[in-house]
Structure 1
């Protein structure tokens, strides 16, 4: 594919997706009896309102980690749908360790991070081995582990095990200040320190895929496992490492809020980030920059939902908008891909010499 064709694909697909998503969102708003103009102006007015910008960046960091965890598997056509369970178990175990161990400030924080990474990787180890050596679908095994994760967390934070009863909520022991990850004060809010860790992981993800042998093997195996194996790539090892990396990154998803705000894991701790990460990975086309933009957009729409509710527009319309955006992006990129494929076929056909002996 020529540079012009690649540029056209990179520009046309996003513009087409934005146009279609905007049209569909306007239709959805009109059907609900709301004004699209009121919705747009209300959402845009939130850009400089209070701590919306800081809260958006903090939420985007969580979404970014979730999407990166999914994207690592996507590079090899692996669908890690168990990110939800991996991050919740990792956050719970890390909170228990962080609230129990006493260490100096930096070491305490590093221990919590390492525990979260190892727990996330360990939770996906069984599906990884089953996929590599028995061909068991990672979709089935990881989603089944999500249910087990819920039961495991409920067991771990019981008062009889590692939890504490505080008011009407059950929580892990609070993490001392030595285990917190300091943030950066901005205006009336504070940006989580883990935001910068998420950004560093994005750079590492880009470097891994584009500048290392393993990244090449990962992408090659995703394109064709048979061809990659013929070229000397160990498909089993690549599957296991890719899924372990996915689980390790998933283990970090709960840490921005755990180390920057909550300092304990409770029954009411946030959920659903793993499934949102799937949508954002699709939205960003598995590219670190695309995922970052998708995470920011998703987080901003989340924070705007309350403002829409105030002006009489159902906040559920945000969920519809998010779903339509993802759908539009997926469809737009597929349409552009097919257009480019057909154009390439026509170019090849035009340059093919006529067979010898063919009728004039």
Structure 2
């Protein structure tokens, strides 16, 4: 049996992102024109700077934690959950994992084993922090939106409380910054020289991010667990009637989302800072935007993360040229808002076309050759 190419089903995934980016460009052009800046030369400047080898490496570095954050948010979205707590989950996970990795009692542990322990602790802490919101939802009916927002605030307080010199933090001589102990060099993950034309490498943790994307695609799209999770998110009543334990799915989705969230701070920990600092934060909310832009698809989110990295890198040259770098923020915000609206419009059109197709396929043709 031949599978017919269904172009109607491809409308939302193709038209919506392209339309959102186009709308973002139009709005940004208006902002630039109102500010007395040349539109096309500005975009050309961004493209030229962002396509340089050094910028590509930096873009991939930025995209790695963004992608992990987007996958963490997307797991919740596929279940119909809005996990706004990714930011708090990865911050407290990165703090405790970094503190463990740099602790003096770990000196005898080989570097490879210590890397694995850091990753496992980060995932466990992230899952546990997200699990609090899941328990509140299934036992007391508390919305995960409210609970994860509050848990973000509590996580920030815990980080500030623990990151002091009398607890988990250390302060280098002559510095005002308080960090966790610096990881030894055998725990660092070397950069990958995958961009030609520059000496700058890319975070080695990008390999883990790619594997997480593959695992996300396989688990949610090719397993019974993923089917049950998506079914419970699409129609909880029907899922329960078919034997799916909706409460168990809520807990599983939040734990899985939190576990991936725990990985968000590790690319910078292993590849750049080698310690947890107070400057770590904000990546969780960006991940939500990228998940929306990529429509929770692993490839779509990858393109969204790369686009975010490109725009943030290009903002540097705008600032140097006297062009407000906030133009990039306007582009990012407009793209997310536009893609949500575009998906709703294209989904509505798609449903109408599918309904029309079904109506035509079941319509009974009038009998021929019958006279009155």
Q: Give TM-score, length-normalised by structure 2.
A: 0.91
Q: Which moved more, 1:325-334 or 1:271-280?
A: 325-334
Q: State how far apart, in whole Å, the 2-side matches of 1:324 and 1:107 are.
A: 44
Query: Does the alignment pair 1:238 with 2:249?
Result: yes
Q: Secondary structure at the match of 2:322?
A: coil
2:261 equivalent in structure 1 = 250
Q: CA deviation at 1:349?
A: 4.4
Q: Aligned with 2:178: secondary structure?
A: strand
CA distance in 2, matches of 1:85, 1:4: 40
1:180 aligns with 2:191: no
Other-structure match for 1:215: 226
C-alpha separation between the residues in 1 aligned to 2:18 and 2:192? 35
Which consecutive residues of structure 2, in runs of 5 or more, have no partner in the other structure? 366-372
Stretch of structure 1 that moved more, 187-196 or 280-289: 187-196
Partner of residue 119, structure 2: 113
1:266 aligns with 2:277: yes
2:303 is matched with which residue?
A: 293
Alignment size in residue pairs: 353
Within the candidate set 66, 87, 92, 2:90 is matched to: 87
How much has 1:134 moved relative to structure 2? 2.0
Secondary structure, in 3 states, of the residue corresponding to 1:126? helix
Contiguous gaps of at least 5 residues in structure 1: 355-360
Are 2:30 and 1:27 equivalent residues in the alignment?
Answer: yes
Q: CA deviation at 1:348?
A: 4.0
Residue in structure 1 matched with residue 179 of structure 2 by the alignment: 171
* 1:1-360 map, 5 Å: 3-49=6-52, 51-100=54-103, 101-102=106-107, 103-166=109-172, 167-185=175-193, 186=195, 187-267=198-278, 269-350=279-360, 351-352=362-363
1:353 deviation in Å?
A: 5.5
**CA RMSD of the aligned region, Å?**
1.6
Is the deviation greater in 142-151 or in 8-17?
8-17
Mapped partners of 2:50, 2:117: distance in 1: 36
Corresponding residue for residue 358 of structure 1: none
Partners of 2:82 and 2:145 within 8 A in 1:
yes
Cα deviation code 1:249-287 (max 9, x no counterpart): 0000000000111011122x2311000001000000000
> CA shift at 1:67, angstroms?
0.3
Per-residue Cα deviation, 1:198-248 (whole angstroms, up to 9, x for no partner): 000000000001111110001101110110011111111110010000000
Q: Distance in 1 between matches of 2:133 and 2:36?
A: 46
Distance 1:9 1:224 in 2: 21
Q: State the match for 1:357 in structure 2.
A: none
Structure 1 SS opposite 2:9:
helix
Describe the SS at the equivalent of 2:81: coil
1:181 offset after TM fit, Å? Answer: 1.7
Deviations 1:306-356 (A, max 9, x none): 1011222101111001011111211111111111122233344455469xx
Mapped to 2, the partners of 1:50 and 1:24 lie a distance apart of: 29
Task: Tell me how far 1:49 sits from its aligned partner.
Answer: 3.0
TM-score relative to the length of structure 1: 0.94
Tell me by how many angstroms 1:2 deviates: 6.9
What SS does the corresponding residue of 1:7 show, helix, strand or coil? Answer: helix
TM superposition shift of 1:184: 1.2
Question: Aligned equivalents of 2:13 and 2:300: distance in 1?
Answer: 11
Given that 1:50 and 1:188 are in contact with CA atoms closer than 8 Å, whether structure 2 keeps it comes out as no
Taking the aligned partners of 1:25 and 1:221, their CA distance within structure 2 comes to 39
Q: Distance in 2 between matches of 1:302 and 1:340?
A: 34
Deviation of 1:7 (Å): 2.9
Alpha-carbon distance in structure 2 between the residues aligned to 1:9 and 1:171: 45
Contact 1:124 1:244 in 2 (8 A): yes
